[in-house]
Structures are given as C-alpha cells and as structure tokens.
Structure 1
Amino acid sequence: MVHRRKVIATAVGVVGAAAGLTIAGCSSSNKAKSGGGTAGSTPAAGSWQTPDTVPVSFTVSPQAGATKVSPTEPVTVAVEGGKLQSCSVVSGGKKIAGTVDTDSGTWKSTDDLAYGKKYTVTATIQDSTGATVKKTSTFTTLKPTHTAGITFQANGMSVLHTGGTYGMGQPVIVAFGHSVTDKDAAEKTIKVETSPSVEGKFHWVSNSIVHWRPAKYWAKGTTVKVSVNAFGVNLGSNVYGASNRSTHFKIGRQLLAVSDNNTKHTKVYIDGKLVRDMKCSNGRGGYTKGANGQSIHFWTQEGPHVVLSKEATHTMSSASYGLTDPSNPNYYAPEIVKLCTRISYSGEFLHAAPWNHSLGAANISHGCINLSETDAKWVYDNFIVGDVVDVHHTPKPLPLTDGLGDWTISFDKYGK
C-alpha cells in the first residue's frame, strides 16, 4: 500500500543567501510492504528533488555600519554564488550612479558621495535556483566642521577668466573659502601644468589665499593649467575642500613698462623691444599724518607692479587714503580721472593728468604715474591684466600684498 507523505518546506539559512526550498515528493513510507528497494536506491518513478542551493556571498565596501567614510571612497558590491541583477546607493532620495561588471559580478559607483550623509546600499540578487532576494547595507560619510570652496583669482579685485590671456607677471592665485591650517595638505591638492614647463613655488599671502609663480616672468605664449583636487581632503582643523576645480589661461606678449623716478620717463617694451617712451610725473614723496594719526606717504612705490584692472574713469580724492583735512597742503577734493590703469590696491594708477604741466620735468603727483591724455589712452588700450610696471629709484618699496608684489621678492626667498 502506498502512503502519501507530508510536504515539508525547510528554509536554508546562509548569510547573504537566498532562502532555499526542499520538497519531498510522493514515495512509499514502508519499504517492506512496498517491496521497494534498499536505502540509497534511485527514487521511485513519479518522485522528484530540487537541486541544492549554492550559498550566496554578498560583500559591500564601505562595510556595513562604517562611519566617517570619505566621500571620495568608491562604493563596491560583489556577489558570489549568485547573479547581481541590480544595485542602488541612495541618500535622501539622491541616487549615486554606478556600473555593473557582468563578468565579475560586481557593481562600482561612478559618482562621488556627499559629506555627512547616510547611504543605503540595496542589491537585488538571483541565486542558483532562480529565486530573487534583496540585501541592504548602510554606512555614513564624514561630516566636516567647515567646507572650503575654491576660487581662481586674477587678483584681489577680480576673478581669473578661464581661457583668458594675461600678462607675463600674472601669478596663479587659489583662494580657499575658509582658513587653511594644514597648508602642506592644501598645496598637495594644487597641480600647475605649464607649456613650456617651468619650475614654480607657492607663497601664502593669507591663511586662505596662496599664490604660485615661476622663477622668472612667464614666456610669451605660455599655457597654464591649474587643477585643485581638494574634495575629500582635510585642509586642517576638520575643514575639507568643498569641491574640485580647474582652470586654464594663456600668457600673451611680454610687456614690461619701466617708470624711472629720476628721468621722469616711462618706457614700454614688448617682447624686449622698446615701443613707447612716455614723459611722466610720479609721486612727489614725503609724508604726512592722516585723520587717525597714521603715516601717509606720497611716493610711487619702487619695484615690479602687476596691472590689476583698467577703468575708463575713476573718482580720486585724498580722503580715499585717509587725508581729510582741507588745510593740509596734500589734501584734494574728489575728482573724476580718465583712462586709469591700476597697479596697486592702495591706489597707484597710470592715468591721464591734463592738469600736470610738469610731465618729464618734475614728480608732483600724490603717488600715481601721471601721463598725457594721448599716452594714457595708449596704455589703456594696450595694457592687459598681468602686465608688469617696474618703478625705479624711489625709497619706498612696494609691499608684497599691496597688489601683486610677487615679483618684488627673489625666487629663493619666495614662499618663506
């Protein structure tokens, strides 16, 4: 007599594996009565068995529960014993892109993560029986105290225009959006590539702004590429780079203007050739006291200046540098000055001075380089940001931070 056996379902528990199902088919429960075979014999006709489930291994990096994960660390999911059908990495509804390598059965993220976020990794796996199961894992990225954005500057008054053309004195300037305490770490994030290749050095002008210049003025036609890979980098005191940035610019012709305080002439050289000789009147010299008792000088400062900007008109007054007393002989009321090419933050310009009848004969300005209207227009039309104006024979040197005084320091001392 043949008895019907009970159907038994057994869950096969494997870490990261799909649940397996084993079912006993119909067969005799009494071998003697049935006259059936011995143990280990082939199942009777009409009975069946499911194949064994192959254990599935599910591995995620970063590991489950990890904290302070770098946002630049890739997320990888690997499966053995099954087929990875899909994978998602999500935080707050934002999904991280990735690709599946069908040959190795792995998934790898192609996007960076974000700071201070909890991510959930969900993988859909098909095991050896064809059953589908989902597995999840979570981790959290590090949270900075502050993040520092990156800005490329032409100078402290304007940003650098990507693809722009600049003069031979233009340094590379990287401005971080927050104070940097680990300057070595910050410098390692900056890569400067030039063609032709040149040696260069970093110089920090503040806790957030660093300059880079070559040993000599840039050669004509040099191309400069700058990349800052600061995202995920601790710049000190738990301040991390907010993003990666890059830019590039080109050096135009080499223009050097030499303004001689003794001869009262400013000569302009392009690619080493004298192209213009202009009569000028520079700073009268001497000192006075400002409204707050500060010392004010009237020299055109000595040393290589870098052109910062050009303005068709600029309102000038002695009050702009702290001299407000009308009884002071150096005081002057606001007036509109034309064709202004700025070379320092403190207010030195090459500009038109039709009122000055001492061009080429005496230095009577308050510190600017006075020119005729014709010469001032030529300068305005032909000079570009980054060109160099080198002032000779005055007793007051240009400070490093009054404009771009990078070239006032010898290369061996630059960065120290």
Structure 2
Amino acid sequence: MIARLRRSLVVSCVLATMLAVGGCTISSGGRTDGSAGPVSTTRTSAAAIGFTPADTTAPVNPLSPIRVDVTQGTLTSVTLTNPDGKVVTGITTPDRTSWKPGEPLGYGKTYHLVAEAVDAQGLTTTKDTTFTTLAPNNQTRVYLNTTGGQSISDGGTYGVGLVVVAHFDEEIGDRAAAEKAMTVTTTPPVQGSWYWLDDQNAHWRPQQYYAPGTTVSVDAKIYGTQLGKGLYGQQDEKVSFRIGDSHVSIADDNTKMVTVYENGRVVREMPTSMGRGGTETIGNTTLSFWTQPGTYTVMDKSNPVIMDSSTYGLPINSRLGYKESINWATRISTDGIYLHELASTVWAQGNTNVSHGCLNLSPSNAQWFFNFAQPGDVVEVRNTGGAPLEVWQNGDWGVPWNTWLAGSALR
C-alpha cells in the first residue's frame, strides 16, 4: 500500500513537471503570451497577383497589353470571360508567371478577369477585376485592291507593275498612324513605299518593276488603331501574292505598233490605231481625244464591255458620241482607255489614228492580248500628243521616285 502510494506520487510529480515545462507546446487552448483565446493558424500566401492595366476603371483599348503577372508564386488558373460568357483563350509563359489573351478583344465589351496563384508553401491567392473596352465613335475597314478596284486574290499571280491599293471606306484623319499599321514584305526584298492619293486611298509600289517570281505580302493591322478624329480600324486585312512572268508592251505612236515583250523577248507585234487627237468642248467640259503618253498597267478585262461615251461627258447623240458592245477589251486607265478589238478600223491600224483614245486592234490581236494579259502587266505609251498620264488615271509608274517617296505620310 505504501509502495503503491509512492509510485503514484512519483508519476504525479513527473506529470506536473512535464506540464510546467512544456505545457504551451501541447495545449491547443492557451497562448504563448499568456493571454486568453485560441492560437491562430491562418497564413497569407506570399504570391502577389498584378493586372495590366492596373487601372481598369477607364475604357481599355482592345489592343492594349492585357496581362496577369505573379511574383513569389506561379499561376494556377486565369479566366477571362466576355459578355456572352465565353472564355477568351490565353497564353501562359512556361514558368507560369505571366498570362495574356491569345486573341483580340472586342470593342465596347465588358470582360471579367479572375486569376489564381500558389506560393512555394502551397498557399493560394485569388484576384479578380472587371474592365470595359473602348467603344469607337466610328470605324473604318481597309480593302487591299488592284488599281482596277478588284480585291487582290490571296495566292494569285500578277504582273511586274502591280500597284497595291489600300482603300479605306472612311476618310483617314491620321495618315501616319494608318501607314505605320500597314507593312509590305517582299521576297527578294525590294525598296518600296506608300503614296497617298487622298484621305481614303494609299498606293504601294516598288522603285522599279518587280522581278518575276517575287512574292509579296501585305499586312494591314489596323484593328484597334486610332486613325484620327475618333476613327478606329474595324478589322485587320492581309493578302499574299506572286509576281508572274514579265509582260511589258510598248505602244509607239511613231510606228503605230504595239510590241509585246515576255521576260525581255518579243512575242508579238500588233498594228494599232490610237487617239485621233484634238479636243471637244461639251458644255463646260473639254474632252481630249489623245491617247495620253505614260506608263499604264493592266487593270482588268472584259469580253464584251459596253462602251458608252456619256460616262465621261460625251453625249451618245453628239457628233462623236457612241454606245457599243466591244469584244476582247483590256482596260489600262481609270477613265476608260482599253486595248480592244475593232474590226472597222483594221484599215487604219498601223498607219492612222482614228479612235477616241483607246488602242484599236484587230479581232485576232485583241483576243490574243486579252488572253495573255494579267493585272499589273505594263503598257508604255510613247510619242503621242496630249497631257502626260496622271497618277489618278492609273499613272502610278509615271511618278518620279523622289516624288513618290514624298507622298508617304511618314516622310
């Protein structure tokens, strides 16, 4: 009985000593500072999430850098949702410390962005925001055309003199901004430049004719670009094409012949009858009947085409008026100069100019040229009277190179 009591006293003393020395280690209800209340086990993640732009209260340009970054941690998820509830695809860096959208955002839309990250201890943190993209007062679309007004065909083949036309459907207030957004890349490289005809049309050509086989890519990244006076680009446009064989035709009024070269070799000689010359005044308009000298390019072709003199101010019922269906017509100017078939003037072809300005050919020659020609082929008219061909008439190649360069908004 005494021995059992002694053992109990020893155990009690040992327990008392242990509790006195290490009680705060095993207690779940006390605090080390002696104050009342439970011990807090909550810890904050060291990962810090940041958004760009930091201020999402102002309208955001859809092309502005939208980014999620994390320090002292890695991203576990980022979700950007558009107003329709669709998740926008994104790109995360390999180290999972940064994220950005993988597609352009829309104008005037509200997006919800949620990001989650984890630190080295496995503790997570979440951050979210809402932002709205700007809503432009007006938008413009750009069309990449030939000088004939047709869309350049992606993967198509064109002549060595092709001029790229960037046509905007609204007047551009900031030509420099528009031009910076439009790049032309060629293989092999050539020197080229944009030239603004007016606030809606910019033309691009190289200093010299392309070499056959050149590839050309035009990339107009205007979406999200401020183009002046509240006008923004509506969408990007891109096209690539190839330069085919060199087709250069020389129409010489001294010989009344059209000599056609393919890759520097003469492939056909065609007698022609060009503009009879002189002028005619109708009301307040004076019309010229010269085939203007200059360097033209093939714009388009039609078989047949209705030629109506009233479209350029010469009434059909006037002394020189006409309206006819003409076969095998290849157009080379904006104001209606064609190389075309006209059997009734075969007698004059090669010796006398009798046309209103077009280059008349025999039916067989006109058909051959029609089938041979492609948009961008060069036609040089030499030794005729009248004023030189102007750039608005499809006379881009007649503009001296220094003048062409000065027509850029970036010079």
**Helix, strand or coil: the match of 2:343?**
coil
Indicate if the aligned counterparts of 1:64 and 1:137 stay in contact, CA closer than 8 A: no
Indicate if the aligned counterparts of 1:340 and 1:380 stay in contact, CA closer than 8 A: yes
TM-superposed deviation, 1:208 = 1.5
**1:358 and 2:348 equivalent?**
yes
Indicate if the aligned counterparts of 1:286 and 1:297 stay in contact, CA closer than 8 A: yes
**1:335 and 2:297 equivalent?**
no
After superposition, the C-alpha distances for 1:51-102 in whole angstroms (9 at most, x for unaligned) are 4412453322222434232212343334457774432212312432114458
Tell me the residue number matched to 2:258: 266
Tell me the residue number matched to 2:5: none
After superposition, the C-alpha distances for 1:379-400 in whole angstroms (9 at most, x for unaligned) are 0111111111111122222121
Letter in 2 for 1:338: N
Which structure's residues are more often helix, by fraction? 2
- In structure 2, do the counterparts of structure 1 residues 101 and 298 end up closer, same or farther at CA, with 3 Å as the change threshold? closer
After superposition, the C-alpha distances for 1:354-386 in whole angstroms (9 at most, x for unaligned) are 111211121001111001111111101111111
Structure 1, 88-97 or 266-275: larger mean CA deviation = 88-97
Matches within 5 A, 1:90-239: 90-93=81-84, 94-100=86-92, 103-124=95-116, 135-239=127-231
Q: Give structure 1 stretches of 5+ with no counterpart.
A: 1-32
Structure 1, 161-170 or 234-243: larger mean CA deviation = 234-243
- In structure 2, do the counterparts of structure 1 residues 130 and 273 end up closer, same or farther at CA, with 3 Å as the change threshold? closer
Tell me the residue number matched to 1:37: 20
**Helix, strand or coil: the match of 1:377?**
helix
User: What is the TM-score normalised by the length of structure 1?
Assistant: 0.83
Alpha-carbon distance in 2 for matches of 1:139, 1:240: 20
Matches within 5 A, 1:253-402: 253-290=245-282, 292-324=283-315, 326=317, 328-332=318-322, 334-356=323-345, 357-396=347-386, 397-402=388-393
- In structure 2, do the counterparts of structure 1 residues 309 and 128 end up closer, same or farther at CA, with 3 Å as the change threshold? closer
User: What is the TM-score normalised by the length of structure 2?
Assistant: 0.84
Indicate if the aligned counterparts of 1:152 and 1:173 stay in contact, CA closer than 8 A: yes
TM-superposed deviation, 1:161 = 0.5
**Helix, strand or coil: the match of 1:414?**
helix
TM-superposed deviation, 1:144 = 2.1
Letter in 1 for 2:66: V
Tell me the residue number matched to 1:413: 403
After superposition, the C-alpha distances for 1:317-344 in whole angstroms (9 at most, x for unaligned) are 3222222163x43122x22111101111
Tell me the residue number matched to 2:3: none
| Runs of 4+, deviation exceeding 6 Å | 45-48, 126-133
Indicate if the aligned counterparts of 1:74 and 1:110 stay in contact, CA closer than 8 A: no
Indicate if the aligned counterparts of 2:75 and 2:96 stay in contact, CA closer than 8 A: no
Letter in 1 for 2:251: S
Letter in 1 for 2:330: T
Letter in 2 for 1:221: G
TM-superposed deviation, 1:303 = 0.5
Alpha-carbon distance in 1 for matches of 2:402, 2:66: 45
Indicate if the aligned counterparts of 1:307 and 1:387 stay in contact, CA closer than 8 A: yes
- In structure 2, do the counterparts of structure 1 residues 135 and 247 end up closer, same or farther at CA, with 3 Å as the change threshold? same
Alpha-carbon distance in 2 for matches of 1:325, 1:311: 21
Structure 1, 166-175 or 376-385: larger mean CA deviation = 166-175
Identity %, equivalent residues: 34
Alpha-carbon distance in 1 for matches of 2:39, 2:232: 59
RMSD (CA atoms) = 2.8
- In structure 2, do the counterparts of structure 1 residues 45 and 343 end up closer, same or farther at CA, with 3 Å as the change threshold? closer
**Helix, strand or coil: the match of 2:344?**
coil
- In structure 2, do the counterparts of structure 1 residues 158 and 102 end up closer, same or farther at CA, with 3 Å as the change threshold? closer
Letter in 1 for 2:77: S
**Helix, strand or coil: the match of 2:368?**
helix
Indicate if the aligned counterparts of 2:276 and 2:290 stay in contact, CA closer than 8 A: yes
**Helix, strand or coil: the match of 1:42?**
helix
Count of residue pairs the alignment pairs up:
380
Alpha-carbon distance in 2 for matches of 1:263, 1:293: 35
Tell me the residue number matched to 2:12: none
- In structure 2, do the counterparts of structure 1 residues 325 and 340 end up closer, same or farther at CA, with 3 Å as the change threshold? closer
2:233 to 225, 241, 254: 241
- In structure 2, do the counterparts of structure 1 residues 51 and 398 end up closer, same or farther at CA, with 3 Å as the change threshold? same
Alpha-carbon distance in 2 for matches of 1:103, 1:224: 37
Tell me the residue number matched to 1:54: 44
- In structure 2, do the counterparts of structure 1 residues 394 and 81 end up closer, same or farther at CA, with 3 Å as the change threshold? closer
Q: Give structure 2 stretches of 5+ with no counterpart.
A: 1-15, 31-37, 407-411
**Helix, strand or coil: the match of 1:412?**
helix
Indicate if the aligned counterparts of 1:204 and 1:415 stay in contact, CA closer than 8 A: no
After superposition, the C-alpha distances for 1:239-271 in whole angstroms (9 at most, x for unaligned) are 222222221111111111111122211111111
Tell me the residue number matched to 2:35: none
Indicate if the aligned counterparts of 1:64 and 1:138 stay in contact, CA closer than 8 A: no
